[in-house]
Amino acid sequence: MVLPALSLSLQFARFAAAPEHRAVLARHRVARWIRHALSANAEITVRIVDEDEGRQLNRDYRQKDYATNVLTFDYAQEPLVLADLVLCAPVVAREALEQNKTLEEHYAHLLVHGALHAQGWDHETSAQDAAEMEAYETAILGELGFADPYA
């Protein structure tokens, strides 16, 4: 299987737990996870942030005053997918623990999820769209060797 090309910028904000997250998010892993979710070549920046930055971005761009796990800023879908994916490390770590997942499993899921959003997938438009997106995420993660994130 030939996967789309990906130009990836991987950034980490400065926060106390950054080394733990950096260890899980080796560049080659992040690129592999995202490439499996792409249907076209892409230029994507992934930024791992602390709770303050995650909350500020969610508040400024979505008018929601809390830090969320992943924010997708999609700029173009054709002919090249252009997007920024911002993941809030403390939220991701907390959710992984609550869901009894490894940090790696949860990051893989959220990066696939964000990459799909960058290509126009949306789970908030209808129950059918949500079911289709979840099924596709599950299939992609299965190809990558991960269990169903919704099980």
For the annotated binding site for Zn(2+), the residues are 113, 117, 123
- The whole-number pLDDT of residue 91 equals 98
Q: How many domains does the chain have?
A: 1
Closest CA to 24 of 87, 98, 103: 103
Q: Please list, in sequence order, all residues whose beta carbon lies within 8 angstroms of the beta carbon of residue 144, skipping any fewer than 6 positions away.
A: 32, 33, 36, 108, 112
Question: Is residue 31 in some structural domain?
Answer: yes
Each residue's pLDDT, cut to its tens digit, for the chain (151 residues) gives 799 999 999 999 999 999 999 999 999 999 999 999 999 999 999 999 999 999 999 999 999 999 999 999 999 999 999 999 999 999 999 999 999 999 999 999 999 999 999 999 999 899 999 999 999 999 999 999 999 999 9
Expressed as residue numbers, the domain containing 72 is 6-143
- For the entire predicted model, the pTM comes to 0.96
Question: Is residue 1 in some structural domain?
Answer: no
Question: Is residue 32 in some structural domain?
Answer: yes
For the annotated binding site, the residues are 113, 117, 123
Closest CA to 77 of 111, 32, 134, 120: 120
CATH number of domain containing 57:
3.40.390.30
Which residues of 36-134 form beta strands (DSSP E)?
A: 42-49, 70-76, 81-88
